[in-house]
A and B are shown apart, each in its own frame.
Chain A
Amino acid sequence: MAKKILRINMTNLKAAYEDVPEKWSRWAGRGLTSAIVCDEVDPMCHPLGPNNKLVIAPGWVTGSPAAPSSGRTSFGGKSPLTGGIKESNAGGLSGQMIAKLGLAAIIVEGTPAKGKWYTLIVSNDGVEFQDAADLMGKGMYEVDDLLWKKYPKTAVIGIGQAGEMKLSNAGISVNDPENKPGRYAGRGGMGAVMGARGVKAMIVVDKGGPGVEIANQDLFKQGRKKLTESIQEHGLTKKGGGLNAFGTAVLVNILNEAGGLPTRNFSAGQFEGAAKISGEAIAEVCEKRGGEGMMGHGCHPGCIIKCSNIYPDETGEAVVSCIEYETTWAMGANCGIDKLDFIAQMTRECNDIGLDTIEAGNTVAMAMEGGLLEFGDAEGALKTFDEIRKGTPLGRILGQGVEATAKAFGVNRVPTVKGQSMPAYEPRAVKGIGVTYATSPMGADHTAGYTIAPEIAGVSGKLDPLSNEGKAELSLTFQAATAFIDSTGYCLFIAFPILDIAKGWEGMAESVAGVTGLAITGADVVPLGKEILKMERLFNEKAGFTAEDDRPPEFMREESLPPHNVKWTITDEQLDSVFAWVHNGHKD
């Protein structure tokens, strides 16, 4: 049975299934959300207005039997944070269940009557529109609990108070296998886009769905085997390897050692308390406190990497899942805070209120720079989340993210590109990732082109992080490969093994070809990724973006970053070369 598009109209509260038109038929995940947004969303529309849409799509292989680590769901639309196109993807339960319903994508459009909010029950029988009055004002922990009482073992996609207030830092929560709101399509304010459609939550019930069709079983199995083996063989992704044993926060110490761990609002590249907030420290706490605490937690069924964790309190009771690298950095080093228990509490606040932890931590750091509180004030930092939850005037400023907060407090050290704040890698000390931040259509986003792999981690070769040489080309290659992986439904962390182990790269492409029947090989990965990037860049141009929007912030050219005492020295011409091909007619 061919996959369908489910179109949900919130103006007249009707839903309809549509055939997937030819022009979208070869896309899934990010490729599909971006194609639909480009075709159906006016680039000049207000992100919170009636003409924006929320597009949700599982990847090509998501929901297929035992494809390893493939539970991603892409959420697309026009971003209220950047004003450009956005695709933000998450793990959790939603992707596999949407795929098993035979859906290529869900498009949520239109606006209900003022003051009306809905919970959507999406099942094989269609869509039920329920009044969400009982959930309004509630955080995501309670929302997930309440909805599983009525609909156990379902996927819950929802927004916290931040999304209800349509704040630019509102994310979309997806529940994990324990029904906790830890998996976020965090970046770019997509929770506000969902809120603008009047949707508080969406339940996905996969029971009775047709499942995912496999076009070529032999090819799929062959690709799956190669990919699985490469994940199990690679030192980083194997059982007991760096990611499994210490989580993504295993990166804290290496970035600190490299002088590239942004500290106290990007004023230094090393944090004296780094070891205390590292993955190793999180693992120590889990081992010592025991109880519900654990490393090696999986964010969705079928993950074989299992990089998530459940952080326990002193009694062993779960506080939050999960403390990621970006999170422990944003709330930790970047705020001058070295207390994991407070970082865990702040992460829980973000997951409950519905905030992106990167933007939220950067915002607290900005408020510290602006004098609202001191760097290192963990108790004060935790209290700022109450302001956002309650929607006080201060909370509404903080909930808008870094740029709004910088303006409110008169700060000029503003680490953003296209309105989105930078993640946990200092561009002055790791030049390639700075090219990605500057030129990605998504705004400053490490996942958009993770040059950290060769620049720091020694994956797919070793390159000098402090050197400018070849970084424009490197970033483009990574951005293109990422756009493809973001469309597969595989977790981006498969990139580490497949970049080092050739059969893994082939296996990824073969498994996609096996599921879809499309003639895709490893050689098609970068060209297809570039097609996606081109769509996204053209949307942004129509939304008013120019070359001037592909620039890192001014202070990075002016201020030297210790310990290497380096500035941003990649030229504007080098940055402009990254996407010159979009208009020069070259197809490769």
Chain B
Amino acid sequence: MFVTVKLFATLTRYKSGVRAGSPFEVELPEGSSVQNLIDHLRIPQEETHIVFVNNIIQERSVKLEAGDVVGMFPPVGGG
């Protein structure tokens, strides 16, 4: 299945040529979780702090479905 991924802030370094928020497609086996996607992208565990699936913050154990849009963030804040 294919999911759409967006990386933000310091995480863009894990996908060459991608800019913050630019969507790209990733192919994963059916039934893959957020954690499987993180592993697939080879992003160190401690660097993905918040993960959105379809605009909702989700745990890493959540199963993905074809067509899901996943946004990943390192620690961010300010205001």
Contact = CB atoms under 8 A, between A and B. Distances in A.
Contact of B21 (A240, A241, A243, A274): A274
B9 A280 contact: yes
Nearest to A463: B57
B57 A281 contact: no
Nearest to B77: A457
Contacts of A453: 77
Contacts of B9: 242, 245-246, 250, 253, 279-280
Contact of A496 (B8, B19, B21, B77): B77
A257 B21 CA distance: 10
Contacts of A253: 8-9, 20-21, 71, 73
Interface in A441-458: 446-447, 450, 452-453, 456-458
B14 to A, nearest CB: 14
From A240, A453, A456, A465, residue with most partner B Cβ within 10 Å: A456
A504 interface: no
Given A253-B8, A258-B57, A236 B21 contact: no
Nearest to B20: A280
Interface in B1-55: 6, 8-10, 12, 19-22, 46-47, 49-50, 52, 55
Contacts of B21: 253, 274-275, 278, 280
A564 interface: yes
A564 B55 contact: yes
Nearest to A464: B57
Interface residues of B, number: 25
A514 to B, nearest CB: 27
Interface string A204-235: 00000000000000000000000000000011
A258 B77 CA distance: 14
Given A249-B78, A250-B76, A280-B21, A457 B50 contact: yes
Given A275-B21, A280-B8, A280-B9, A251 B57 contact: no
From A242, A243, A456, A492, residue with most partner B Cβ within 10 Å: A242
A284 to B, nearest CB: 8
A248 interface: yes
Contacts of A258: 52, 55, 57
B42 to A, nearest CB: 19
Contact of A459 (B57, B71, B74, B77): B77
Contacts of B19: 275, 280, 284
A236 B77 CA distance: 7
A83 interface: no
Nearest to A270: B55
Nearest to B79: A446
B76 to A, nearest CB: 4
A425 to B, nearest CB: 8
B8 A452 contact: no
Contact of A242 (B22, B74, B79): B74
Given A245-B10, A465-B57, A254 B73 contact: yes
A249 B79 CA distance: 8
A342 interface: no
A550 interface: no
Given A274-B21, A278-B21, A251 B55 contact: no
From A245, A253, A424, A493, residue with most partner B Cβ within 10 Å: A253
A462 B57 contact: yes
A326 B9 CA distance: 18
12 contacts: A235-B47, A235-B75, A257-B8, A258-B55, A326-B79, A447-B79, A456-B57, A457-B50, A458-B49, A458-B50, A459-B77, A493-B77
Interface of A: 234-236, 240-243, 245-251, 253-254, 257-259, 274-275, 278-281, 284, 307, 324-326, 423-424, 446-447, 450, 452-453, 456-459, 462, 464-466, 492-493, 496, 563-564
Interface of B: 6, 8-10, 12, 19-22, 46-47, 49-50, 52, 55-57, 71, 73-79
